[in-house]
Amino acid sequence: MLSTESRPQLSGKHYFTSSPSTSPNQNLLPLTAKINEKDALEIGGCDVPQLVEQFGSPLYILDEVTLREACRQYRDSFRKYYPGESQVIYASKAWSCFGVCAVVASEDLGFDVVSGGELFTTLNALEQMGWSIADAAAKIYFHGNNKSVQELEYAIATGCTIIVDNWLELQNLVKLGANSPDKPIRIMLRLTPGIECHTHEYIRTGHLDSKFGFDPHQLEGVFTYVSQQPSLNCVGLHAHIGSQIFERQPHQDLGGVLVEWFEKGLTYGLPLTELNIGGGLGIRYTESDDPPSIKEWVKAAAQSVVKACEARQMALPKIIAEPGRSLIGTACITAYTIGSRKVVPEIRTYIAVDGGMSDNPRPITYQSQYRVALANKMSAPYQETVTVAGKHCESGDILIKETPLPETEAGDILVVMDTGAYNYSMASNYNRLPRPAAVFVNNGEANLFLQRETYVDLTRQDCLPTRLLK
């Protein structure tokens, strides 16, 4: 077991020893996090152990204040630093469900969707809020590198903007557009700008060796083709250079690259008015992570576009940004109940929780790191170093390797921080585990927005071939 003698003074309280940043993406915990008089972690005015008692575990706990503040900082920063029109759209692949869509929409953000399912979810959420299909579609941008014909038909029927990724998609859209020649399909073109950034290789999307977008050498041919298609209304260009990015320079470079191609597209007669600069701003998963604030990122990205346009004496296009992780990542924690314990002498101590890779596949997929605390013992000093194991039948189902904690016992509530992005959205039913519930917390109230799945839910789509029935 690793020694913790060099840090006996540490406890869950150390996450509160410095003033939290006003930029949500720079914190390990939601903005409303505090330790209450029972020495328990409190989020949104709600006692976390009590939430587990009420709703069960594992439990996603999403702080509405933090999510709304991140939305407002993006929206208001673009209005401050970009003289032209702007629209922030939420990359809903981070977490797509009715509740999250409703909060984001109420803050005047639009949506980036990457499948027919995400489009359906977003449209249904907005309809329940009283939006018309036309108003909803005006704020939805449909991405994807292999959209099916059925998905394209669905997107066309709604009237949302389609981000075209490749030649096959262009050709399919031209065929589909022939059915309604009087109503051109609103599209943007995704390009691969050839910009590298330091992030995990699986989430780099801006370099030339990428499955996404048209390469620069293809673009003039694409511009020529699109300009000859009356069924297509090409309103802009899009690029996205990756995820969990801490550097500002790549996005400053991106502005210049996009504006250069934007100007060239205009010479082909394309009615370009929008420039989508993607997203990718990182969040703080560990103490060593140091991402720029939302305001700093927006300022750098916006000013790069302004500078590039001024150099060419171009009118400013409408700028679109599509953050996901940095909007919702730090707004959520996951609470687990600790169960069994195994000590391997001189090697490691394992503690097991009632979830794991089915509710958080990022550690086993990306080797992602997280920070944890005992929600019911926030002031207890760290006394041991443990490895937090999930309950799945996989040796690799490890949530956190070698983390300091107080001495734990069965029934303690372990919280994993920064689980708002790609946790529920990538969750599975591996080993036939039901997916967890999720609650919004705000001003002392907890509201369920995702029900815990049941065993009946797990078998809902199961069926037996007729020949096996008696």
Residues taking part in catalysis: 393
No. of helices (H) and no. of strands (E), the chain: 13, 20
Q: In what order do the strands lie in the sheet with 46-47?
A: 34-35, 41-43, 46-47
DSSP assignment string, 372-403: EEETT-TTSBP-EEEEEE-SSS-TT-EEEEEE
Q: How far from 39 is each of 44, 48, 49, 381, 443, CA to CA, in Å?
A: 16, 11, 11, 12, 19
Q: Please state whether 173 falls in left (phi above 0), alpha (psi between -120 and 50) or beta.
A: alpha
Nearest-CA neighbor of 32 among 450, 449, 451, 440? 440
DSSP secondary structure code for residue 371 in this structure: -
Question: Per DSSP, what are the bridge partners of residue 65?
Answer: none
The neighbour count for residue 217, using CB atoms within 10 Å, is 8
Angle at 49 between CA 290 and CA 332, to 5 degrees: 30
Which H/E stretch holds residue 167? helix 167-177
Integer Cα distance of 72 and 75 in angstroms: 5
344 touches 350 (CB < 8 A): yes
